[in-house]
Amino acid sequence: MAATSAWDNTTLFVDDDPADRAFRAEVRDWIAANLPVELCNRSTRIDPPELKPWHRKLYERGWIAPHWPREHGGMGATLTQQIILFEEISRVGAPTPYPHGLNFIGPLIIDAGTGEQKARHLPPILTGEVTWCQGYSEAGAGSDLASLTTRAQLDGDHFVVNGHKMWTTNGHFADWMFALVRTDPKAQPRHAGISMLLIDLKSPGITVKPIQTIKGDAEFAEELLVDVRVPCENLLGGLNDGWKVANRLLGSERFTTGHPRNAAVLLNKARQVAELTGTLHDGGFRARLAALEIDLLAFSAYYRHAAALHGARRAPASMAPVIKIVGGELGQRASELLVEAAAGLGTLVGDTTFGNHVINPAAEMFEMRRVTVGSGAVEIQRNIIAKRVLGLPS
């Protein structure tokens, strides 16, 4: 979108050093020359198969895994460079690659995997040939993840897995699933009886069904697992160590999923739509917009501050949950303002053309409902801060 404002909320507090600036310019030029235009500013979901060519291009340029160490095919980039890549990709409304392989299981395999697991799984994550999904949640285990009941029983050199996984993003497109399964039903506390298995979704006994979201697309799926045989070498980390393995993730991946850019883009859309619909002349709208921009400014300051501390290895335990809570809730409020801005056009099922942009305000708002629930609801994040940071009693 053309900038209509001297107030640029997408670059707040960016403080690149000369090397960062050069890198940013290089990324920007390359994206302009290489990004398929049909992927930009889409109001509908882009499923993994359609994203593969773009993933491949980033891979060939060497930028697909900025946060992975060089020895495993990553860039070994600084956190600032990682953030720059994300910012420059999202700046033009282009999709960032799905995180399940690159940001979730990839780093876990690098961290806890055997040499064989690394050699087998890391290269196809980088190239994008293999799509991964995360098998954590179940019908009865959402926020209370440790109560999961999908069972894996050792039978010779295989685990036999029985259970039902749900809410797995891209489950119906994925080739592999990394799953938390119960390997010791008697263990106390319950999370001490959980292991992490890498499951080939082509294995016999797996039925995958897509689930339609309120947004209207099939983002996630459920998987029924009946006597699925998983070779022992697909255990990641030690037996009953799954909880520990999974929890090593939290941290720097929040810098992309929780980037203030998400809310900034929505607020800019809201402002531009409001200009066209006339909503911008309403005092109430202007007051709400200002309040949200002020919160975004504060969050941007926090975000850069957190990145600097993270770079200095001094980030506090509260950082990841704070970014998750504030980034998610701010994005939601911004998306609600976009629907307000669109007035009567905000409730239409289909896309609307505003100026030279196609926007679906309702879909944007539905999309943002996901972010305060997925990968640990904001209420759970608040519990984490209450107990681990503020020291409040149980």
Residues noted as catalytic: 253
**Helix locations, 113-208, DSSP H:** 115-127
**Amino acid (1-letter code) at residue 41:** N
Helix or strand or coil: residue 115?
helix
- Residue positions counted in the chain: 394
Please state, in angstroms and rounded to a whole number, the distance separating the CA atoms of residues 394 and 384: 11
What are φ and ψ of residue 184, in 5° steps?
-135, 100
For tokens 């970014």, what's the residue? 323
Residue 323 beta carbon to other proteins: minimum distance, rounded to whole angstroms: 10
* Contact indicator for 194, 243 with CB cutoff of 8 Å: yes
Question: What region does 41 belong to: left with phi over 0, alpha with psi -120 to 50, or beta?
Answer: left
Closest CA to 160 of 151, 173, 168, 169: 151
**Pick 192 or 389: Cβ nearer other proteins:** 389
**Pick 350 or 393: Cβ nearer other proteins:** 393
Residue 392 beta carbon to other proteins: minimum distance, rounded to whole angstroms: 5
Residue 188 beta carbon to other proteins: minimum distance, rounded to whole angstroms: 22
Non-local (6+) Cβ contacts of 379 within 8 A are 143
Residue 394 beta carbon to other proteins: minimum distance, rounded to whole angstroms: 6
Residue 390 beta carbon to other proteins: minimum distance, rounded to whole angstroms: 6
**Pick 248 or 281: Cβ nearer other proteins:** 281
Please state, in angstroms and rounded to a whole number, the distance separating the CA atoms of residues 138 and 331: 26
Q: Which residues pair with 359 in a beta bridge?
A: 352
In 10 A of CB 183, how many CB atoms?
Answer: 22
Residue 71 beta carbon to other proteins: minimum distance, rounded to whole angstroms: 30
Chain residues in the site for other proteins (CB under 8 A)? 4-7, 13, 271, 275, 280-281, 286-287, 289-291, 293-295, 297-299, 301-302, 304-306, 308-309, 312, 314-316, 318-319, 322, 325-326, 379, 382-383, 385-387, 389-394
157, HSE (Cβ side, Cα atoms, 13 Å)? 2
**Pick 146 or 308: Cβ nearer other proteins:** 308
Helix, strand counts (H, E) of the chain: 13, 10
Pairing of the two strands 235-236 and 194-200: antiparallel
Non-local (6+) Cβ contacts of 249 within 8 A are 104, 107, 108
Residue 175 beta carbon to other proteins: minimum distance, rounded to whole angstroms: 39
What are φ and ψ of residue 162, in 5° steps?
-135, 135
**Pick 234 or 262: Cβ nearer other proteins:** 262
Please state, in angstroms and rounded to a whole number, the distance separating the CA atoms of residues 193 and 243: 8
**Pick 2 or 349: Cβ nearer other proteins:** 2
Helix (H) or strand (E) holding 110: helix 106-112
**Pick 312 or 349: Cβ nearer other proteins:** 312
